[in-house]
Structure formats: C-alpha cells, structure tokens
C-alpha cells in the first residue's frame, strides 16, 4: 500500500532564521581518523547510565560492548575503535558548561580491529519484530535528533493498535546544523532501508520522510533511493523552512495535521517520530553489523578554519575533531555543542563527541545581546510562539512566582525553542526564565509531596501512639481486675510459681 497523501498542516508562529549552512555543505562528509584517545561517557542517552563491563587495562576491539544497559530505560555503549581501557573516571562532558561525568577512556592502538560478530547477519525481513527490538537495544541505538531516548524502548512503547504513521524526521531547522542534510544526501539508501526496518518491526504499512523544502539535494537523493528500492510505502513530505518545524510535536503537526495533546506523546495521535540519523544507525547495525559507534557531525562557525561535516567516532574529543578540520581561527571565542538556538555552551574542548552531538559550533564572539529592559507586553513573542503560548504573560507570572497562573498559561507546554528570546525588543532571556520556572515548579511539587508524606507519617505515628496508650491502659485494667477477682490464695500461688521458676534458673 502506498502512503496516504494529504495536505500539510501548519504550525503557529516560528521564525525564518538565517540558514548559515552553505559553508559546511560545500564538501562531502570527511572521515575523522582514529584519535589517540577515546572518551566514552556512560550516560549518552536518556534514562539510567550504562554500567561498565570492562576493567582498566583490558584490551577492547572496535564494536565491542564496554558498558551495558542498566535499568528499565537505558542503552549500552560500544568501543568505537580498538585499544586498551586506561581509565574509568570523571571527565568533562558536553552538558552545560562541561560538567564532569563518568567516562570510559580508551587508548587506541590505531589498528581499528573489529570485534567478531557472534551471529551472522540475516535479512531483516526474516526477523520477528521482537528480535529486532532486542537487537536495536543491543546496538546502543538512541534517538539522534537530540533527545537520545533509547530507540528500542520507543519502538516497543509504540507497538500498539493506535499507531498509524511512522515519520522519519529530516527537518533540520536550526541554523548552522547540516549533518542530517549531508547524511540524507550521501546515505539516502541507509535512511530509506532504516525506515523499511522500522516499518517491518512496527508492522506498519507506510511512512513519511519529512524534509525541509530548502534541501533539494537531500530530497533528490532520497527519491532516487526510493525509486531504486521500489518502495511506495515511503513518501517524502516537504516541510516549509521555518524554525522550529523540526521539533518532534511540530513535525507531527505539519505532517499529519494532528496536535500532540498537552503532556502527551506523538503516540497519542498515532505517530512515531524517528530522526533520519537514527534510521541510518538502525540500518548500519541490522544490515551491516556496526553498532552506534560513529556519527555525522557538523563542525562549523567562523571560529573553525574549514567548516564541514565529519563522520567521527563517538568518544573523539572536540579538540581532535576541530584539529581535523584545520583548528580554530584567531577569532574563535565560544564553543557550543549543538546549534545556536538549543545548543549548550561549554568551556573546554576536552569534552567528547557523544551520540547526541549533531553540531560543534565555534563562534567568534557571543551574539551581542542588548541590555535587558522591562517587558512592554508588545506581544511579539506570542506571534512567534509555535505552541501559541503568551510568553509575555508567562514571564509576568514567572516573576510573580504564581504557580497556578503559570500552569493555566501553559508553562509546561513550552518547547524551549527560543523564538521568543530572539524577537523580544527588550532582550529578555525568556526561555531561560521559563526553564527556571519549570524547575521551580517541579521543586515545589516535590516539596509538596515530601511535606504530604511527612504529614502522613506524623499522623500515623500519632494514631499509633494513641492506640498503644489505650492498649496499655486496658491491659493494666485487666490485670487489676484479675488480681481483684483471684483473692489472696491465688496470689500466694502465683508468688510460689514465680519463686520456683527463679530457683530453676
């Protein structure tokens, strides 16, 4: 069956941002060689960090499992080249400002020897969905769109009656980032076969690949691949180039005209969204036996000598990647992991490239932000908000710490895209304020829950104490009663009994 066609939906607001991708798409994806050292964080995915299954000094091969999934939602980590584990220690990672996190450090031997797969590769069509889910879990595959949610769990959650559409998300709307674009141009077959595997595993009959209309090369490559594979279950959907069309809920809205309900998942409207990179990773693992140990990353900005897209091993440090593209320019001033809108600033280039790293952005100077002025309620922010919030009102209630109002004005629906910050004539960092307000809200809820638990404990203790006191009083009363009824002779008997017992002791 071919994918049903219908008109595109629309998303409120959004911004036409400068694209800034021409420099990094000028040449084909370059392969970063094996670095001297690989740093592999145990937490590269949403959920529980993986736990190491190698010890210091152990030799590992490329593709070998070095940390296994731990807990209900987790993903394993594989060695991305061969070498020796020299440390399992705290290392700066690309969280905000490069905080430390436990990492496995491998000293590479440069030979890049591949681990021997235990089983042969069989055609995915001959494998049952459950087997595929298990395999995808073992392959350490996580959502490469940014959320890094373990793909296997997402797929398993989605195998319900209500699932209708699979959407492969190639909408890369943030300025500078072009890794998905380049991946689609050069590995369109991988993306399409990955989509086929997912369709098979989910027992679905159609899928959409959403791509922005300003990526003609990617669209061309994908349609070539589709013609070659003769698969009419997969349709390409061209999306207008407006930020943030690539966000999960917005893609669903654009492709299917359905709104993801508040607090819900795309699954609530019968959709499952997977990034193109994830689809390609699934292909690499299921069809070629290579777990998720490398990814395409955009290295760009006016702070690097030669902006380009690179295929680098997970665990390569940012410093090594930047060296590969010719190093920093003199103007390099700030390092951002991710895009300019949603990325995180880090203070050191010792941080490793992880599964989530879609962009290494080096900029000359921090974008000049004007002085923050009071909000004049101009409403420009509300015009661009993709979820139709009123950021000016949210800001007002965030300042006033009015939790009830924040809830009713939909603070939790904010997707933190940053559009409101960009248009604010008073230069108010709205998104940051909303992040803080969300945190506070969560803290307040936690505090409330803790207080409630403490109250319950206290109340049950009071009840228990009262009950015990009552029981003691009753027992005393009963004993008195016994003594009174027994008379003097019985008392003598009792005393005698206790005396003989003492003697026996």
Partner 1 sequence: MRQVLYALIPALAAHVWFFGPGILFNLAVATLFCLGGEAAMTRIRRRPIQSALSDYSAVVTAAIIAFALPSLTPWWVTATASLFGIVVAKHLYGGLGFNIFNPAMAGYVVVLVAFPMDLNLWTAPRMGDIDYQYPTIIETIRYTLTGMLPPELGFDAVSRATPLDQMKTGLSNMQTFDEIHNNPMMGSFGGRGWEWVSNFVALGGVWLMLKRIIRWQIPLGVLAGLLVPSAFMYWADPGVHASPGFYLFSGATMLCAFFVATDPVSAATSPRGRFIYGFGIGFLIYAVRVWGSYADGVAFSVLLMNMAVPAIDYLTKPRIVGHKMFENWHHKSRT
List contacts with partner 1 (CB under 8 A). Answer: 11-12, 249, 253, 259-264, 371, 373-379, 382-383, 386-390, 392-393, 402-405, 407-410, 413, 426
> What element of type H or E holds 469?
helix 430-504
Report yes or no: 249 and 261 within 8 Å, Cβ to Cβ. Answer: no
| Cβ 376 to partner 1 shortest distance, Å | 5
Q: Count CA within 13 A, CB hemisphere, residue 26.
A: 9
Which C-beta is closer to partner 1: that of 157 or that of 259? 259
Which residue lies nearer to partner 1 by CB, 332 or 387? 387
Q: Which two tokens stand for residue 31?
A: 């392969």
CB of 244 to partner 1, least distance (A): 12
Minimum CB separation of residue 421 from partner 1 in Å reads 17
What count of other Cβ atoms lies within 10 Å of the Cβ of residue 497? 10
Toward partner 1, which CB reaches closer, 349 or 380? 380
Minimum Å gap between C-beta 253 and partner 1 is 7
Least Å distance between CB 405 and partner 1?
7
At its nearest, how many Å lie between partner 1 and the CB of residue 175? 22
- Report in angstroms how near the CB of residue 382 gets to partner 1 at its nearest: 7
C-beta of 10 vs 90, nearer to partner 1: 10
Question: Closest separation between CB of residue 278 and partner 1, Å?
Answer: 24
Give a three-class secondary structure readout of 349-393: CCCECCCCCCEEEEECCCCCCCCCCCCCCCCHHHHHCCCCCCHHH
Instruction: Give Cα 444 distance to the centre of its chain.
Output: 24
Sheet holding 100-108, edge to edge: 37-41, 100-108, 83-92, 59-60
**Given the complex with partner 1, which of 378 and 449 has the nearer CB atom?**
378
What is the rounded CA–CA span in Å between residue 85 and residue 53? 11
Tokens of 68: 């296994």
Question: Under DSSP, is residue 205 helix (H, G, I), strand (E, B) or coil?
Answer: coil
Q: Whose Cβ is closer to partner 1: residue 15's or residue 389's?
A: 389
**Is the separation of the CB atoms in 303 and 364 below 8 Å?**
yes
- d(C-alpha 145, C-alpha 215), whole Å: 17
Taking the least distance from each CB to partner 1, the nearer of 91 and 397 is 397
Shorter beta-carbon distance to partner 1: residue 177 or 398? 398
Q: What sections of 159-307 are H helices per DSSP? A: 179-186, 188-202, 216-229, 248-256, 276-288
Q: How far apart are CA 301 and CA 454, in angstroms?
A: 53
């Amino acid at each position: 069956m071919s994918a049903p066609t219908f008109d595109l939906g629309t998303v409120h607001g959004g911004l036409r941002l400068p694209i800034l991708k021409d420099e990094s798409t000028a040449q084909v994806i370059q392969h970063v060689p094996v670095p001297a050292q690989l740093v592999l964080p145990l937490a590269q995915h949403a959920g529980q960090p993986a736990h190491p299954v190698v010890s210091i000094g152990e030799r590992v091969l490329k593709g070998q499992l070095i940390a296994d999934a731990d807990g209900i939602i987790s993903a394993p980590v594989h060695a991305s080249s061969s070498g020796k584990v020299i440390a399992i220690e705290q290392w700066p990672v690309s969280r905000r400002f490069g905080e430390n996190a436990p990492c496995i450090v491998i000293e590479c031997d440069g030979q890049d020897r591949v681990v021997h797969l235990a089983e042969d590769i069989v055609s995915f069509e001959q494998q049952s969905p459950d087997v595929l889910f298990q395999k995808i879990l073992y392959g350490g595959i996580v959502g490469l769109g940014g959320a890094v949610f373990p793909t296997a769990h997402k797929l398993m959650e989605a195998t319900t009656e209500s699932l209708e559409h699979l959407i492969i998300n190639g909408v890369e709307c943030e300025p500078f980032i072009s890794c998905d674009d380049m991946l689609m141009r050069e590995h369109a077959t991988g993306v399409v076969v990955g989509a086929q595997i997912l369709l098979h595993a989910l027992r679905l009959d159609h899928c959409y690949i959403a791509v922005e209309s300003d990526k003609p090369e990617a669209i061309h490559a994908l349609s070539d691949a589709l013609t070659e594979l003769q698969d009419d279950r997969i349709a390409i959907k061209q999306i207008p180039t407006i930020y943030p069309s690539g966000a999960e809920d917005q893609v669903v809205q654009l492709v299917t005209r359905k709104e993801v309900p508040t607090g819900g998942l795309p699954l609530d409207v019968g959709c499952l969204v997977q990034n193109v990179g994830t689809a390609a990773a699934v292909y690499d693992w299921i069809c070629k036996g290579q777990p998720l140990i490398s990814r395409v990353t955009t290295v760009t900005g006016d702070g690097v000598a030669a902006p380009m897209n690179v295929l680098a091993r997970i665990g390569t440090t940012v410093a090594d990647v930047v060296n590969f593209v010719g190093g920093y320019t003199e103007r390099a001033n700030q390092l951002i992991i991710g895009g300019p809108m949603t990325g995180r600033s880090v203070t050191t280039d010792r941080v490793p490239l992880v599964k989530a790293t879609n962009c290494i952005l080096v900029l000359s100077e921090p974008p000049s932000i004007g002085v923050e002025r009071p909000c004049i309620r101009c409403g420009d922010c509300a015009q661009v908000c993709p979820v139709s919030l009123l950021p000016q009102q949210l800001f007002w209630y965030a300042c006033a710490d009015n939790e009830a109002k924040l809830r009713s004005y939909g603070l939790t629906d904010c997707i933190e895209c940053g559009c409101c910050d960009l248009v604010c004539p008073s230069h108010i960092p709205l998104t940051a304020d909303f992040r803080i307000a969300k945190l506070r809200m969560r803290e307040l809820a936690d505090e409330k829950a803790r207080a409630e638990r403490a109250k319950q404990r206290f109340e049950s203790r009071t009840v228990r104490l009262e009950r015990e006191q009552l029981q003691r009083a009753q027992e005393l009363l009963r004993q008195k009663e016994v003594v009174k009824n027994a008379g003097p002779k019985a008392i003598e008997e009792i005393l005698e009994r206790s005396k003989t017992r003492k003697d026996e002791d």
